[in-house]
Amino acid sequence: MMKRYLSLRAEHNQWVNTQLYDVAAQLSEADYFADHGTFFGSVRKTLNHIVTTDMIWMHRIDGTGEAPAGLDVVLHDTLADTRATREVLDARMISVVDGMDEAALAEPLRFKELSGDDIAIPTNLMVANLCNHETHHRGQVHAILTGLGQEVPPFDFYPLLMATGRGQR
């Protein structure tokens, strides 16, 4: 059950990220870089934070790829470059979750926090945390985009379920 749920969460992340980046692509450069008063300030910094954090967690989960040294690292100045990295990460998350069985997902993920502390948490809970983290910060970007007059679709599960035929009218 957990694997099926996490697979759906990974698919949902990809689906929402595609829509979010489509809307963000309509911003002027000034609006993309401007501080809008959210936790990371700008759309640019918030999207970079989500990518950076995903890179760190995915490295911990599958042992591949880069793991930036901090959570506020800005890897890309342009939305196009950020989006390209985002798309690779989304496909990677789907592949990693789909490639694990329930037993592997239940195994503890052992890592050092950025503070240096040794941590062990079940992998399935860390994948869920990763998805939740994206949701949290995407909500901030959604608020910025909405405040700038952009039409932003809802990012709940329900629209994905309907769009993919999992729900019926």
Going from N- to C-terminal start, the domains of the chain cover 2-21+37-158
In the prediction, which pLDDT does 113 show? Answer: 84
In the prediction, which pLDDT does 24 show? Answer: 98
In the prediction, which pLDDT does 123 show? Answer: 96
| Measured distance CA(125)–CA(109) in Å, rounded | 9
Element (H, E) at 108: strand 108-112
Kindly list the distances between the CA atom of residue 35 and the CA atoms of 78, 113, 142, 146, in Å, as whole numbers in the listed order. 16, 29, 14, 15
| Measured distance CA(28)–CA(152) in Å, rounded | 16
Long-range Cβ pairs for the range 108-116 (8 Å, 24+): 109/60, 109/61, 111/60, 114/56, 114/69, 114/70, 114/71
What does pTM read for this prediction?
Answer: 0.94
In the prediction, which pLDDT does 168 show? Answer: 81
| Spans of the chain below 70 pLDDT | none
Q: Does residue 89 contact residue 13 with C-beta atoms inside 8 Å?
A: no
Cα 14 to chain centroid distance, Å, stands at: 8
| Measured distance CA(100)–CA(21) in Å, rounded | 28
119: amino acid identity, one letter: I
Rounded mean pLDDT of the chain?
94
**What CATH number does the domain located at 2-21+37-158 have?**
1.20.120.450
